[in-house]
Copies of this chain bind each other. A is one copy, B any other.
Amino acid sequence: MLQPIKHVLNQKRIILASGSPRRKELVENIGLKAELWPSLFEENLDPRSFKTFSAFVEETALQKVLEVEARVIAQGTLPDVIIGADTMVTMDGNMFGKPTSESEAFDMLKSLSGRSHTVFTGVVVKLPNRVVKFTETTNVMFGQLDDDQIKGYIATGEPMDKAGGYGIQGVGGTFVERVEGDYFTVVGLPLYRLCSVLYDLFKDIEEIK
Contacts and interface: CB of A to CB of B under 8 A. Distances in A.
A148 interface: yes
Nearest to A176: B192
Interface stretch (A51-59, A115-123, A125-133, A177-185): A177-185
Interface in A157-171: 168-171
Interface in A2-54: 2-4, 6, 29-31
Contact of A143 (B30, B31, B184, B196): B196
Number of identical protomers: 2
Contact of A3 (B155, B181, B182): B155
Interface in A140-157: 143, 145-146, 148-149, 151-153, 155-156
A82 to B, nearest CB: 19
Interface in A189-209: 191-192, 195-196
The contact size tier of chain A is 35 or more
A174 interface: yes
Contact of A180 (B145, B149, B169, B178): B178
A1 interface: yes
A149 B29 contact: no
Interface of A: 1-4, 6, 29-31, 143, 145-146, 148-149, 151-153, 155-156, 168-171, 173-184, 191-192, 195-196
25 contacts: A1-B143, A1-B153, A2-B152, A3-B149, A3-B151, A3-B155, A3-B156, A4-B148, A4-B152, A29-B173, A30-B170, A30-B173, A30-B174, A31-B171, A143-B196, A168-B183, A173-B183, A174-B195, A176-B191, A176-B192, A177-B192, A178-B180, A179-B180, A179-B183, A180-B180
